[in-house]
């Protein structure tokens, strides 16, 4: 598994945790950063996970607007929390990270949805992110 794939899983965990618990994302990120200092073997994945979460924090309103626009009849509140977190990561990678090809961002998001969410989440995530790409 690549460092970026591991990083996406870490970022998903942070975003999901904040959403479900209603905790402040910056505080969870700070706690994870403190933990990462003691785990040098995970440094490569931590750096990209932090970049993702910081990017979602910095662009949350625009990201959520994209998701709401392209989620066809699904409000953010109605989506499973894990799907919201995956879509936020995916939209950030598509719109704000030029280093990741669109196809890779979508594939990685779909795989996370298949692994951690409902049976229908993979196709849902694929559809939303595909529409985001086509709109750009």
Q: Residue ranges of the domains in the chain?
A: 3-135
Q: Taking the chain (136 residues) in consecutive chunks of 10 residues, what is each chunk's mean pLDDT?
A: 91 95 88 82 84 96 97 93 98 97 98 96 97 93
Contact criterion met (CB below 8 Å) for 68 and 93: no
Q: In residues, how long is the chain? A: 136
Ramachandran angles phi, psi of 39, nearest 5°: -130, 70
Q: Tell me what pLDDT residue 37 has.
A: 80
Q: Which fold has domain 3-135?
A: N-utilizing Substance Protein B Homolog; Chain A (1.10.940)
Q: Tell me what pLDDT residue 71 has.
A: 96
Helices 3-21, 25-37: axis angle to 10 degrees equals: 140
- Closest CA relative to residue 53, chosen from 81, 79, 21, 92: 92
């Amino acid at each position: 598994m690549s460092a970026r794939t591991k990083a996406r899983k870490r970022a998903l965990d942070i975003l999901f945790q904040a959403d479900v618990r209603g905790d402040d994302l910056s505080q969870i990120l700070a706690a994870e950063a403190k933990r990462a200092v003691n785990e040098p073997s995970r440094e490569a994945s931590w750096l990209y996970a932090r970049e993702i979460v910081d990017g979602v924090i910095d662009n949350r309103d625009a990201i959520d607007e994209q998701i709401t626009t392209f989620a066809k009849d699904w409000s953010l509140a109605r989506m499973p929390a894990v799907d919201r977190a995956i879509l936020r990561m995916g939209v950030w990678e598509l719109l704000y990270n030029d280093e990741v090809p669109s196809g890779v961002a979508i594939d990685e998001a779909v795989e996370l949805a298949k692994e951690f969410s409902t049976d229908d989440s993979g196709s849902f995530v694929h559809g939303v992110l595909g529409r985001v790409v086509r709109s750009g």
